């Protein structure tokens, strides 16, 4: 996506590039974005679909902008939680994880995701890199053996302190933690408190949003504690073997975090993907795993002599009808069902528009249907249909000669919102833009004006068509199918980065339009 240069605000994510003669900035940055790798203890639900769609929209936005993008997702397959679920299903962990990992992989076609790879932590390429990271941390003197005892929450796959329990139970998983005592390997996380503090001081936007950054800063101010990073094979054998000690496997988080490296070819630092894409630009994560990504992960990377990520982007949780999703309540929403009922673009739009990244949000069938009816069918769908009908009636079904329009402020606000990952605000701007077009139609009343001033109607029609072209580009990261349908209706070919020019005047006079079926027909209810 080429940015209008004059009106353009500097984009902090992009190195400054000069403006060419044609007044455009061509951004050739790289953009590496990841989702968490999901545990394969159960099938994917709404929450997983949510994170993956947000990441996909950001990946698509950067691709349209001309950046080289690598978008990674995958599955986290080791640890006690997965091992126990496999046992409960009377299956070997390998078979169990093969099946569930495939269910997560199926999110890609269902939600129209464009991930460039899908990593499984049971793959050899991953285990190789995870073990190398361990070796490096050991070489840095950061891994040591220690006897300890503590309370372990398998749901969290982490230790939990007595003070965080409610009636003796983990308040999130509603299960009693298990007493664990063993001699394990530890990672010297406490040693990294000052270095990480310094990184936070120098990179104000490392953790986004600010409230989540502040939470991490508070933990840093208290000082980080060393963390157990292995399990005896007598406790759990489902993990990556610890180098040079086959009585222990790695703690699942120590193994899992390294997926972001191993997918790029680490430990081979000369691997083309590693060279091009490391470090990560955005690790998108849910708020409950912020701590692992914003405190432990940077320490592991420093210990291994690797560069730290640019941003940890933390999103809130989705509830369903105001309640936490849970099997007990029976309100777990299946993303595949949702796509079957409403289509991928509608689900994607709901996630990006209704839910505000930094807040918790709520899903309900009433809300998604309201968004469908009001925003998609009424505001967007009707405007497209109305415009095309008028072009057929008053302009022989062809694009009239170019005229002026009021797009620049919307384009600029949209870009600014996308730069700070505020998808909801970016979309709100597009819908304001659409409303301004509706208003222009109502003000002119072309069906009346055409009799006395056909030139004015032609000017309005060009404005409408060209605005829809720009709106299609802006919604493309979130609603790729709808964007392409609009693009096709305007008589254009495939919406690609080279053609996705966010600048007024792209439509050529005389281009025949192709009015198709309504974009968002009434829901079958």
* Site residues (vs ligand ME8, CB under 6 A): 36-39, 47-48, 50-51, 76, 256-257, 259, 285-286, 288-289, 317-318, 325
Closest to ligand ME8 by CB, 355 or 426:
355
DSSP-assigned letters across all residues of 192-251? GHHHHHHHHHH-TTSEESHHHHHHHHHHHHH----EE-EEETTT---SPEETTEEEEEE-
- Provide the minimum distance between the beta carbon of 465 and ligand ME8 in the complex, in angstroms, as a whole number: 38
Question: Judged by CB, which is closer to ligand ME8: 81, or 429?
Answer: 81
Cβ closer to ligand ME8: 158 or 228? Answer: 158
Residue 52 beta carbon to ligand ME8: minimum distance, rounded to whole angstroms: 8
* Distance in Å, CB of 502 to ligand ME8, minimum: 30
User: Cβ atoms within 10 A of the Cβ of 452, count?
Assistant: 8
Name the minimum Å distance from CB 260 to ligand ME8.
7
Q: Which is nearer to ligand ME8, 299 or 464 (CB)?
A: 299
Closest-approach residue to ligand ME8 (CB)? 47
For 402: left if phi > 0, alpha if psi spans -120 to 50, otherwise beta; the answer is beta
Cα gap 217→196, rounded to integer Å: 10
Q: How far is the CB of 45 from ligand ME8 (least distance, A)?
A: 7
Q: Using the minimum distance from each CB to ligand ME8, give the nearer residue, 51 or 230.
A: 51
Per-residue burial over 86-118, b = 16 or more CB atoms within 10 Å of its CB, e = otherwise: beeeeeebeebbeebbebbbebeebbbbbbeeb
User: How far are the Cα atoms of 194, 342, 383 from residue 379, in angstroms, in the given order?
Assistant: 52, 17, 6
The CA distance from 473 to 469, in Å, is: 7
- Pick 38 or 185: Cβ nearer ligand ME8: 38
Of 39 and 186, CB closest to ligand ME8: 39
**Shortest distance (Å) from residue 149 CB to ligand ME8:** 25
Phi–psi pair at 88, nearest 5 degrees? -65, -30
Q: Are strands 207-208 and 227-228 parallel, antiparallel or unpaired?
A: unpaired
What is the rounded CA–CA span in Å between residue 309 and residue 264?
14
CB of 76 to ligand ME8, least distance (A): 3
CA angle, 249 as apex, 243 and 254 as ends, to 5°?
85
Query: What value, to the nearest 5°, has the Cα angle with vertex 281 and ends 353 and 25?
Result: 80
């Amino acid at each position: 996506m080429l940015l209008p240069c004059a009106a353009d605000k500097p984009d902090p994510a992009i190195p400054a590039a000069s403006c060419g003669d044609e007044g455009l900035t061509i951004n050739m940055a790289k953009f590496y974005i990841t989702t968490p790798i999901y545990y394969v203890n159960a099938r994917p639900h709404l929450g997983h679909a949510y994170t993956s769609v947000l990441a996909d929209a950001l990946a698509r936005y950067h691709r349209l902008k001309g950046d080289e993008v690598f978008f990674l997702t995958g599955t986290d397959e080791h640890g006690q939680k997965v091992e126990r679920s496999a046992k409960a299903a009377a299956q070997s962990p390998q078979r169990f994880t093969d099946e569930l990992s495939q269910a997560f992989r199926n999110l890609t076609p269902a939600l129209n995701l464009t991930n460039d790879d899908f990593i499984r932590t049971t793959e050899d390429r991953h285990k190789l890199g995870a073990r190398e990271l361990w070796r490096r941390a050991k070489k840095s003197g950061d891994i040591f053996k220690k006897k300890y005892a503590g309370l372990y929450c398998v749901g969290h796959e982490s230790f939990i302190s007595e003070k965080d329990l409610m009636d003796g139970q983990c308040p999130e998983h509603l299960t009693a933690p298990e007493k664990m005592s063993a001699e394990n390997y530890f990672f010297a996380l406490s040693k990294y408190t000052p270095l990480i503090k310094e990184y936070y001081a120098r990179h104000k936007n490392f953790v986004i949003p600010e409230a989540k950054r502040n939470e991490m800063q508070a933990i840093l101010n208290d000082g980080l504690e060393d963390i157990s990073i292995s399990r005896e094979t007598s406790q759990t054998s489902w993990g990556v073997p610890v180098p040079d000690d086959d009585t222990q496997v790695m703690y699942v988080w120590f193994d899992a975090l390294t997926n972001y490296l191993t997918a790029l070819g680490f430990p081979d630092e000369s691997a083309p993907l590693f060279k091009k894409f490391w470090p990560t630009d955005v690790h998108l994560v849910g708020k409950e795993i912020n701590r692992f990504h914003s405190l432990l992960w940077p320490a592991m990377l420093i210990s291994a002599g690797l560069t730290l990520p640019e941003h940890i982007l933390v999103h809130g949780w989705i509830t369903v009808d105001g309640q936490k999703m849970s099997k007990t309540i029976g309100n777990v929403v299946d993303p595949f069902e949702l796509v079957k009922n409403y289509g991928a673009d509608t689900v994607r739009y709901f996630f990006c528009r209704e839910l505000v990244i930094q807040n918790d949000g709520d899903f309900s069938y009433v809300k998604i249907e309201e968004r469908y009816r009001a925003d998609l069918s009424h505001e967007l769908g009707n405007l497209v249909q109305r415009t095309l009908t008028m072009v057929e009636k008053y302009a022989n079904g062809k694009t009239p000669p170019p005229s002026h329009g009021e797009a620049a402020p919307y384009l600029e606000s949209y870009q600014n919102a996308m730069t700070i990952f505020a998808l909801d605000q970016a979309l709100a701007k597009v819908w304001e833009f659409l409303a301004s077009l509706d208003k222009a139609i109502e003000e002119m009343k072309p069906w009346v004006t055409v009799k006395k001033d056909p030139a004015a109607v032609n000017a309005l029609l060009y404005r409408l068509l060209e605005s829809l072209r720009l709106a299609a580009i802006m919604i493309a990261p979130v609603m790729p199918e709808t964007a392409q349908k609009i693009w096709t209706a305007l008589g254009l070919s495939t919406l690609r980065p080279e053609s996705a020019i966010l600048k007024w005047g792209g439509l050529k006079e005389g281009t025949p339009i192709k009015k198709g079926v309504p974009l968002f027909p009434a829901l079958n209810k």
